[in-house]
Amino acid sequence: MTTYQGGCHCKAVRYEVESDLTQVIACNCSHCGMKGFMLKFVPSDNFKLLQGEDQLSTYQFNKHVINHPFCKNCGVESFAFGTGPDGSNMHAVNIRCLDDNVWEKVDAMKYNGKDA
Ligand SMILES: [Zn+2]
């Protein structure tokens, strides 16, 4: 496990996440596809928001089970959170928002969220 830092474009929102960055997904649902997300799901205990909670506005769609917070200033959604199928709290980190272009070294698996 490695600790990565990331956040939004204007740096108002910053977080830390502990992950091995395996099983990163690129989902084709209407929302992920449009935003070009590469997502890594982690237990919420492995995610820590360092700053910017007051800068976040939240978008929800579909069944409203996932919260999509984005920075009110720059508009970037650098993470999402919700409840996993087993009821546990999960965070989904947008790998593209980790510092130093970590995403370039990560292979994302295509995930068919459109039909899920
Ligand atoms: Zn921002």
CA–centroid distance, residue 87 to ligand 1 (Å): 30
pLDDT at 115 over 90: no
What are the domain boundaries of the chain? Answer: 2-111
Q: What is the pTM of this model?
A: 0.93
Q: Tell me the per-residue pLDDT of 34-87, one tens digit each, with 9 for 90 and over.
A: 999 999 999 999 999 999 999 999 999 888 788 999 999 999 999 999 998 899
CA–centroid distance, residue 99 to ligand 1 (Å): 14
N- to C-terminal Cα separation, the chain:
29
Edge-to-edge strand ranges of the sheet holding 39-43: 56-59, 66-71, 79-83, 89-94, 39-43, 24-27, 108-111
Q: Rounded to the nearest 5°, which phi and psi values hold at 57? A: -115, 150
Whole-number Å distance between alpha carbons of 54 and 8:
13
- Write down the architecture of domain 2-111 according to CATH: Beta Complex (2.170)
Whole-number Å distance between alpha carbons of 66 and 92:
9
Whole-number Å distance between alpha carbons of 42 and 93:
8
Give ion ligand 1 contacts, CB < 5 A.
Answer: 8, 10, 12, 71, 73-74
CA–centroid distance, residue 86 to ligand 1 (Å): 32
